[in-house]
Amino acid sequence: MKRFSFRKVAGFIIIAFVGVLVVSTIVRLLWNALMPDLFHLPLISFWQALGLLLLAKILFGGFRGPSSRGPWKEKMRQRWMNMTPEERDRFKQDWGKRCRWPDTPFSDRKGFPESSERPPFTQPPTAPDNASSPERP
């Protein structure tokens, strides 16, 4: 079994700490440069940027490790390798029907009108130039 040395663990902790500091500073700088001008939001501090980064990680990234998708991928690869060529063709056709837009070739999904049956796209009517600013007496 491989032993971890104190130096490696300490080095990893220092690199992770510096990485969090750098990324939080970048988030703070970008926020303070863009958000107040674009959306009239207040400036944020370093700790607020760190909290925003943590919130984004929770909402969009989760705390799973990078190997959480590995077993699923491997299982699907094994299933694919065990399929006969006919089963593979049927699988491709079934998923091709599910993943295409209604007006693409080979689409036989019910409930979607074909492109020739759809009404043409029309621009919404625009108001005359003088209608946008009514004159007051």
* CA dist., res. 4 & res. 9, Å (int): 7
* CA dist., res. 9 & res. 112, Å (int): 58
44: pLDDT strictly greater than 80:
yes
Q: Are residues 32 and 59 in the same domain?
A: yes
Instruction: Give the predicted TM-score (pTM) of the model.
Output: 0.46
Band (61; pLDDT cuts 50, 70, 90): confident
Please count the structural domains in the chain. Answer: 2
Q: Are residues 11 and 39 in the same domain?
A: yes
What is the model's pLDDT at position 39? 93
Band (104; pLDDT cuts 50, 70, 90): low
Contact indicator for 112, 100 with CB cutoff of 8 Å:
no
What is the model's pLDDT at position 76? 83
For residue 79, what are the domain limits?
Answer: 71-99
* CA dist., res. 53 & res. 36, Å (int): 18
Mean per-residue pLDDT over the chain, rounded? 78
Q: Are residues 30 and 78 in the same domain?
A: no
99: pLDDT strictly greater than 90:
no
Q: Are residues 47 and 23 in the same domain?
A: yes
What is the model's pLDDT at position 98? 77
- Least confident piece of the model among 25-39, 40-54, 78-92, 112-126: 112-126
